[in-house]
Chains A and B, each alone.
Chain A
Amino acid sequence: MALYLNDDQKMLHDSAAEFMKGEGNVAHFREFRDKNCKDGFSHALWKQFAEMGFSGILIPEEEGGLGLGHVEAGVVLEEIGRNLTPSPFLSTAVAGVEALNAGGKALRDQYFPGILSGDSILALAVDEGAKHRPEQIAMAATREGNGFKLDGKKQFVVQGGSADMLIVAARTSGSPGDDKGLTLFAVETSAQGMSRDSVRLVDSAMAAHVEFDGVLVDADAVIGEVDEGASVLQRMLNAGRAGAAAETLGVGSGAMDITVEYIKGRKQFDHIIGSFQALQHRAAHLYSEMEIARAAVLKAQQMLDEGSPKAEMMVSVAKAKAGKATALSVKEGVQMHGGVGMTDEYDIGLYMKRDRALTEFMGDINYHTNRVAEMHGY
């Protein structure tokens, strides 16, 4: 497979780009931020995502979706990143759906229609501390009657306050660090004993601290097999990480484009500042890093779609490389804008904030760099 978008993917790119630029642009982002609404995104826009077919991008065709892959999900996510579109797309339609794809038909029948219609929101309850450490999940799920009882805390549950269902990773046996003993649950947010405290993040997205105090779920809320959730979790994380890398790439590309345009217009010392070699070399280096990140992200997506056994390694490479390149992009962006780069009026700072939150989502640069070393056996 050639490492560029094929014609169908290019068409999808064009329609996603037009849609996001028109409906989910930075002005839309600012409107929702300034409203200070509890969701941090527009339900109406999510409905439009559904009408475009985007929300069912990973749902199989026979179950009403588009039946596409990670490359296509990434195409949409890159435009979300580029336009700072506030959307539950990544957690719901990419990571969430990928987890459900590994689950039974009953669960899919229960949740896919709402996702396809743009009525349902899913959120991912994985992290238990300040850093993403899925290997160390401690939250307990103990057998209770026909089902399980969940006790513990999750945090950084992005859009958890708006979600109808949380995908919760918990421990049904073993201890933190064990591969075996993890189980994934689809837990309705209306469940008794669950409390959600939504907080606004640096990028204006909403995330929840969720407490589970004896939350009872049926056995049929289990996604995949009891105690064997590590593989489902990994599948969900692969999709989410590749998706987050694609969105990050969009943030970095968007920030770079804005910055290059800015330095083409700004004059000091009677010269366009973009004519100065000091800035040109930094901009050119940034371009190079973004191009490499783009190749890494596309490679990871293609490998996931091919089911390659090395996909997991490449997903970590992509998440780390996109994170590094985009961090450079937003930092150079603010610096090259000078004073106005610090103002809320200019968009570049919003990209910096978005990147900061995205880089923490599902593992930061250090996390994935360490993982690559581990996967290489050192």
Chain B
Amino acid sequence: MSDLESFRAETAEWLEANCPPEMREPVTDESDMCWGGKNATYKPGQKEWMDIMAAKGWTVPDWPKEYGGGGLSREETKILLQEMGRLKIRSPLASFGIWMLGPALLHFGTEEQKLHFLPPIARGEVRWCQGYSEPGSGSDLASLQTSAEDKGDHYLINGQKIWTSYADKADWIFCLTRTDKSSKHKGISFMLFDMTSKGVETKPIVLISGQSAFCETFFTDVEVPKTYGEGISSVVGEVNRGWDVAKYLLGHERSMISSDGSAGATSLGAKFADTYGRDEKGRLDDPMLRSQMAEMDIDVLAFRAMAERFGDTFKANLCHPAQPNMMKYAGTEINKRRHELIMSAGGSEVLEWESDATNGGLTARSWLRTKANSIEGGTSEVMLNVIAKQILQLPNA
């Protein structure tokens, strides 16, 4: 047996032996995931599973061991994720620290910053949120205005962020601030600070789908120390060069969101055929719906191959640097279409907004929520602009 084959066998055996049974039930929605943090409330099995995995470094299997990771190779990480998928085992920890801040620190952080910030993320002790968008700065993010005034030993933060997911639940924020008003792109800094600081206020946003994770976040004379200890600056990368960090991270965010399209990869037709009834040949008894679902199967299975290829080429440094934009575009658009089809298949029953039968309108709320997929993290239109310019090399107007 090759090393990788024995790794797969050992991993599968270990997962089966150690994963609590609750953590092998499918995740219903984001509120059903384990997010960690200082104020976390855990459902049965969540804390236990997070701690077991964190002890092995497997909440972040491909991070180096010294930062709380598992130190696994690309191939080993892929095998671990495949085995977890095969055994229907939940991810132990959902975290913007893992998905976004971590990659930024690993790439731009000092050794001291990495040692200070990364292990608590890996252990699920500190929950982070992202402060990017502002009311006047959506697609044109670099026009952001939240100011960080240099006051000698600290920065004074004033301004407003919007679409700050889980700002009301997060312990810390990684936040884009304006440290220089004279340059649009080269006047932004990537700053880390405590959400319990005086002058930070959050307010949840109600969406067309109902309650949401999104918040408005207000900063009024928030004092952010310049350092949290020797070599631990509150700014990641250089001051005024936060846009480089943000751009790097957007790539990560886009590749993460794009996995949505492949997540629900089970065939809708196979799922709905029993509800609808079948004709004498065993076909779903609504020819138009059947054909739409079959088209969706084609697109979902093809996109799943694309997601695999993207992952493989991304890790091997073979894909175009702007390819995450294409994945984000395609993944979110297919997810929106998929939910349109689910609503159509559900008919009038899934319109019930509050009843127990629909689990509080879950299908309808999920459908509405997908409409944000192609807006958040860069709109589809911006993705298409980037593909056109950076990949196809089409000229500026």
Contacts and interface: CB of A to CB of B under 8 A. Distances in A.
A3 B394 contact: no
B347 interface: no
A378 B293 contact: yes
Interface in B16-44: none
Contacts of A277: 385, 397
B169 interface: no
B387 A373 contact: no
A299 B303 CA distance: 11
A292 interface: yes
Contacts of B207: none
Contacts of B284: 373, 378
B384 A284 contact: yes
B306 A272 contact: no
A313 B312 contact: no
A285 interface: yes
Given A3-B309, A292-B306, A369-B298, A287 B269 contact: no
A378 B303 contact: no
17 contacts: A280-B385, A283-B388, A283-B392, A283-B394, A284-B387, A287-B391, A288-B329, A292-B302, A298-B305, A299-B309, A317-B302, A369-B295, A372-B297, A373-B297, A376-B297, A377-B270, A378-B270
Interface in B345-397: 381, 383-385, 387-389, 391-397
Nearest to A324: B298
Contacts of A281: 381, 384-385, 388
Contacts of A4: 309, 312-313, 316, 318
- Scoring B269, B318, B392, B397 by chain A CB atoms within 10 A of each residue's CB, the highest score goes to B392
Q: Say what secondary structure dominates the interface of chain B.
A: helix
Interface string B312-351: 1100101000010010011000000000000000000000
Contacts of B267: 376, 378
B249 interface: no
Q: Say what secondary structure dominates the interface of chain A.
A: helix
Given A2-B316, A321-B302, 17 more contacts: A3-B313, A4-B318, A260-B394, A264-B395, A279-B394, A283-B388, A284-B326, A291-B330, A296-B301, A296-B302, A317-B301, A317-B302, A321-B299, A374-B283, A376-B270, A377-B273, A377-B282
A293 interface: yes
A275 interface: yes
A333 interface: no
Nearest to A316: B298
Given A284-B384, A370-B294, A373-B290, A295 B306 contact: yes
Interface of A: 2-4, 260, 263-264, 271-272, 274-277, 279-281, 283-285, 287-289, 291-296, 298-299, 313-314, 316-318, 320-321, 324, 368-370, 372-374, 376-378
A166 B253 CA distance: 54
A313 B294 CA distance: 12
Interface of B: 267, 269-270, 272-273, 278, 282-284, 290-291, 293-295, 297-299, 301-303, 305-306, 308-310, 312-313, 316, 318, 323, 326, 329-330, 381, 383-385, 387-389, 391-397
A291 B306 CA distance: 7
Contacts of B388: 280-281, 283-284
What are the 3 A-B residue pairs with the smallest beta carbon separation, nearest first? Answer: A280-B388, A284-B387, A378-B273
Given A287-B392, A320-B298, A373 B309 contact: no
A294 B283 CA distance: 30
B269 A260 contact: no
A275 B297 contact: no
B85 to A, nearest CB: 16
A3 B308 CA distance: 7
A350 B109 CA distance: 54
Contacts of A314: 301, 305
Nearest to A299: B305
A299 B310 CA distance: 12
B278 A296 contact: no
A179 to B, nearest CB: 15
Nearest to B383: A284
